[in-house]
Amino acid sequence: MFFKDKGLVLTSLITPMILILLYVTFLKNVYVDSFHSATVTIGIEIEERYINGFVYGWLFSSLLAVSCVTVSFCSNMLMVQDKVTGAAFDLQIAPIKNTKLAFGYYVATVLETYSIILLEALVGFVILAFEGWFLSPLDVCGILFSSFLLVNFGTALSSIIGYFLTTQGQISAVGTIVSSVYGFICGAYMPISQFGDVLQKVLGFLPGTYATSVIRYHYENSVLDKLQSECNFPLEVVNGISKSFDVTMQFMSHGVTTWVSYLVFGLSTLLCVAIYVMMNIKKNAKKSR
C-alpha cells in the first residue's frame, strides 16, 4: 500500500531530495573549499579522490540518517490512514489481537523503509566506487547495521506518535514537520559543530544526533585514516576535521566514542519499542474487558 501511494512515497523523500539539492548547489563546494584550505595551511597536496571520498561519504551518511526516520514516519502513516478510512475497524473485526495487528504494521514499516535505505546505500556505494572508495568490509557492515537500528528507532517513534493521530490533517502535519525539520536537528543539513553553543547542547540530548554520528563514522573513518597514513596529515588536523564534520560527537564539550553513541540510540530504540508494546498491550486489555 505504501509503494502504491506515489504521493506518500514522494513526501517521505522530500528531506533527502532537499539535501541532494543543497549538496549540488552549495554544500559540495563549501566542503571541498574547506579541505583545500586545510591542505594549503599545512602545505600538503592530496589527490581529488581523498577529498571526494570524504565529501561524498558525508553526503550519503546524511542521506541515510535522514531517510531512516523520515521514510519510517511516512510509511507508518498508513496505520493512521487505516483509522481515518475505517479499514482499521474492519481489521479489528477479524479474530486477531490488537498486539498482532500492531506488530504487523511495525514489521511492514521496517521492511518498506529498509528496502529504500538499501537502495540508497547501494547507489552511494556505486558512486563512491568511482569517486573515491575507502570503505572496508567492516565499514559497509557498520553502515547497514546502524541504518537498520535507526530504521527501527524511526518506526518505533512514528508508531508511538501515530497511535494518537486520528485525522488526515494530523497525518499531513506530522509528515510535513518531520520531513522538513529532522534533517536540521540530526545534523544532516549542516554539522552540529557549526551551530551555536546552546543549540549544540540541546541537540546533544537527542538520540538522532548520535545515530547520524555513528553512520557518518562508518563512512568517514577509513578515509580519515588514509589522510593520516598516506597523505601525511598531522593527527591534530585529522581530529579537527573529525570534530568539525561530526564524525565524532561532542556532548557538553566532551568527546563521545562510537560505542557510546551506539549505546545511546540503541537504548533509545529499545525504549521506544517497549513503550509502543506497552501501549498496545494496555489497549488490548481494555478491548477484552
**Mapping DSSP to helix (H, G, I), strand (E, B) and coil, where does residue 255 land?**
strand
Q: 166: how many CB neighbours lie within 10 A of its CB?
A: 12
* Averaged pLDDT, 99-126: 87
Mean pLDDT highest for which of 25-39, 47-61, 76-90?
A: 47-61
CB 215 within 8 A of CB 67: no
pLDDT class for 144, splitting at 50, 70, 90? Answer: very high
* Averaged pLDDT, 144-159: 91
* Averaged pLDDT, 94-118: 83
The answer on pLDDT for 267 being more than 90 is yes
CB 7 within 8 A of CB 176: no
Burial of 158 (0-12, 13-18, 19+ CB in 10 A): buried
Look-up: residue for cell 531517510? 67
Check residue 206 and report its DSSP letter.
-
The answer on pLDDT for 132 being more than 80 is yes
pLDDT class for 7, splitting at 50, 70, 90? Answer: low
pLDDT class for 279, splitting at 50, 70, 90? Answer: confident
In Å, how far from its chain's centre is CA 46? 30
* Averaged pLDDT, 84-109: 75
In Å, how far from its chain's centre is CA 125? 17
The rounded distance, in Å, linking the Cα atoms of 26 and 184 is 16
254 strand-pairing partners: 251
The rounded distance, in Å, linking the Cα atoms of 265 and 170 is 27
The answer on pLDDT for 265 being more than 70 is yes
Mean pLDDT highest for which of 123-127, 138-142, 184-188, 249-253?
A: 138-142
Provide the pLDDT for residue 139.
Answer: 92
Provide the pLDDT for residue 137.
Answer: 92
The answer on pLDDT for 203 being more than 60 is yes
The rounded distance, in Å, linking the Cα atoms of 118 and 265 is 20
The answer on pLDDT for 70 being more than 90 is no
For 236-247, write each residue's pLDDT tens digit. 888 888 887 888
pTM: 0.87
User: Does 148 or 239 have the greater pLDDT score?
Assistant: 148
The answer on pLDDT for 288 being more than 60 is no
Question: What are the residues whose beta carbons fall under 8 Å from the beta carbon of 39, sequence distance 6 or more?
Answer: 45, 46
* Averaged pLDDT, 187-202: 80
The answer on pLDDT for 283 being more than 80 is no
Provide the pLDDT for residue 219.
Answer: 92
The answer on pLDDT for 145 being more than 90 is yes
Provide the pLDDT for residue 284.
Answer: 64
- Single-letter amino acid, residue 262: Y
Mean confidence (pLDDT) of the chain: 81
